Chains A and B, each alone.
Chain A
Amino acid sequence: MSVDALDSGFVKGQETGSFARAGVLRRLARDRVAAVAALALTGIVLAAAFAPWIAPYDPYFTDLTKVMQPPGAAHWFGTDNTGRDILSRVIFGTRNTLMLGLVGVIVGGLIGGVLGILAAYYRRLDGWIMRLVDVMLAFPAILIGLAVAAIFGAGLAAVVIALVVATVPDVARVARGAAMGVMGQEFMEAGRAVGVSDSALIWRYLTLNCISTIFVFLTLRFGQIILIGSALGFLGMGAQPPTAELGMMAAQGRDFLFMAPHIATIPSCAIFVIVLAANLLGDAFRDVLDPRLQT
């Protein structure tokens, strides 16, 4: 092992995998399903990011002369019970739904990652952190969402907290597992022997070598997190009307299911497409970056 590699703690070609590994993108592109999923997800993210410019109508503008119109030329996805354009609402709703998922995964991933890595590095913290994780695992995400909504009232904040709490324990377990593997490697011992500080060992040696495993796990979780978020929205614990959020839109459409099924079906389809693309891409990432996570 070269001194440079030891110094950076980031060993190329290490079996834990790294983004630096050549050809990751090329291998992803070769997988046709993954390429289509990536393209779809990019399109969805771009549409959500530029929603105000892309949406053909104001998502909150009600027009009582055009209620419950089926999909057509003027309104591609039809209109809802108050005459709002569903396409525009789906675009804005996707924005909110994706934001919820991203915040949940990023914040939960950070907290869980830190907990898992600390548990692996400081053995005396291990028992405490893992018990905490066990307790957190005792609460299914939907229940946390319900509890938080009961305490602070329904709203996007309740959903975000639920999604973060749902992400933390699983990520902590995966991060701990990956970090334990790295802890057994020679370069950790070598780093200690040459007097590298704890913080440098944790960040440069341990974290950087675990990050691809955590990343792959988070991409695999992203779809599920979106599903949980939209289920909470559907239950009325998340975004409140008139805010557009896909789960809540589906719930609102449920009341008109027999008269205008498209109001509930189209937002549900949108969730399905987002989650499907995320899952397919997550699977492809796993196969390329970290095949050991395969179930």
Chain B
Amino acid sequence: MGQQIVHRLLISFPALLGVLFLCFCLLQVVPADPAMIIAGPDAKAETIAAIRQELGLDRSIPVQFFEYILRVLRGDLGRSIISNRMVSEELAMTIGPTVELMLGAMLIAVPSGLALGTLAAVNRGRLSDRVIMACSVAGVSMPVFFIGLILIQYVGFKWALLPFTGRTGPVWDGGLPSLILPALTLGAVLIGPIARLTRTAVLEVLGADFVRTARAKGLRETVVIVHHALRNAMIPVVTLIGLQAAFLLGGAVVTETMFSWPGVGRLAVGAIVSSDFPTAQGAIMILAIAFLSINLLVDVLYVYLDPRVRRR
């Protein structure tokens, strides 16, 4: 098991290097000279040259890339052009809210998806199955912002049930109400695919011999479904959740922008709009690394859930 995890880590290394290289390129190919932006429009040539030297922009690209990696390893991602704060500080402030939002979305999506998918599988061919599956196709086809717009319009504005802009604080410090609508928006997109796959997986498992054995032993139907069928059906579902991580991150960027949620995605979008390249590359790098980590985590979880993978 340990060996497999090490192997998986080794595979992620080139991907991580690719991520770093692309983020580095982002700082290289920007149309404007960062030194000129920092120096301002009226700066003298000597000032710009001094800043170029200070930033190491006068050295060759491979050397600059190597130095960039060293800086990233030290946690130095440069300084925001707009706020003049360290990018690492900006990121430190925004990572928490993003993680909170994604966890919140998962907490809504995974149990509902599993429950709906199992319900559909158990009632295969009946009305409830058809309704759940129709809703799941509709859910998959809905833009994240559409769900957000509806929730803001009705739950937030018309019925004034929950706040819909910003974050009032961490969940444990009275921030829960402000998290509900963004998490619901982001989670809603995931319920459909999870329900759909759970249904397929549970249907497949329900026909298996061990389920028949469990029933023959006289176990209660709920025990058969929850302990025998659902647990085995979890393997493809966990993979799907990993595959949806990209979707979740992308959705988080949109959701954060919609709800003015102070997360990494909103930071990235704001930085791009205001041409704050150091912040943009830092935010994009963190999001890409988060994505790589989620995939890694899912693979490890996969090994844990499926003893067959462990033995291979």
Contacts and interface: CB of A to CB of B under 8 A. Distances in A.
A140 B284 contact: no
B66 interface: no
Interface in B204-256: 236, 240, 245-247, 249-251, 253-254
Interface string B23-66: 10110011100000000000000000000000000000000000
A2 B197 CA distance: 41
Contacts of A139: 19, 22, 288, 291
Nearest to B201: A295
Contacts of A231: 143-145, 250-251, 253-254
Interface string A88-106: 0000000000000000000
A271 B291 contact: no
A143 B250 contact: yes
Interface stretch (B10-18, B81-89, B166-174, B303-311): B10-18
A156 to B, nearest CB: 16
Contacts of B23: 147
Most buried by B among A138, A227, A265: A138
Among the interface residues A143, A149, A251, A280, which one has the most CB atoms of the partner chain B within 10 A?
A143
Contacts of A227: 141, 143-144
A295 B196 contact: yes
Contacts of B251: 231
B141 A134 contact: no
Contacts, number: 150
Contacts of B250: 140-143, 228, 231
A183 interface: no
- The dominant DSSP class at the B interface is helix
Contact of A276 (B138, B246, B257): B138
B284 to A, nearest CB: 5
**By CB atoms of chain B within 10 A, which of A149, A231, A280 has the most?**
A231
Given A139-B19, A140-B250, A276-B137, A234 B284 contact: no
Contact of A143 (B31, B197, B287): B287
B114 interface: no
Given A143-B284, A146-B269, A261-B153, A234 B145 contact: yes
B200 A269 contact: no
A247 B129 CA distance: 32
B121 interface: no
Interface residues of A, number: 48
A243 to B, nearest CB: 17
A257 interface: yes
A235 B254 contact: yes
A283 to B, nearest CB: 8
B272 A146 contact: yes
A247 B253 CA distance: 14
B280 A235 contact: no
Given A146-B268, A257-B157, A275 B141 contact: yes
A134 B292 CA distance: 10
A220 to B, nearest CB: 11
A275 B157 CA distance: 28
Interface centre among B146, B152, B249, by most chain A C-beta atoms within 10 angstroms, is B146
Interface in A210-257: 223, 227-228, 230-231, 234-237, 247, 250-251, 254, 257
Given A151-B26, A268-B143, A272-B143, A141 B246 contact: yes
Given A140-B288, A254-B258, A272-B143, 16 more contacts: A137-B15, A138-B291, A140-B287, A147-B280, A147-B284, A149-B272, A150-B277, A154-B272, A154-B273, A231-B253, A236-B273, A237-B272, A268-B143, A276-B137, A276-B138, A283-B137
15 contacts: A141-B246, A142-B249, A142-B253, A143-B250, A151-B26, A231-B250, A234-B145, A235-B257, A236-B269, A250-B145, A250-B146, A258-B153, A271-B146, A276-B138, A295-B236
Interface of A: 131, 134-135, 137-143, 146-147, 149-154, 223, 227-228, 230-231, 234-237, 247, 250-251, 254, 257-258, 261, 264-265, 268-269, 271-272, 275-276, 278-280, 283, 294-295
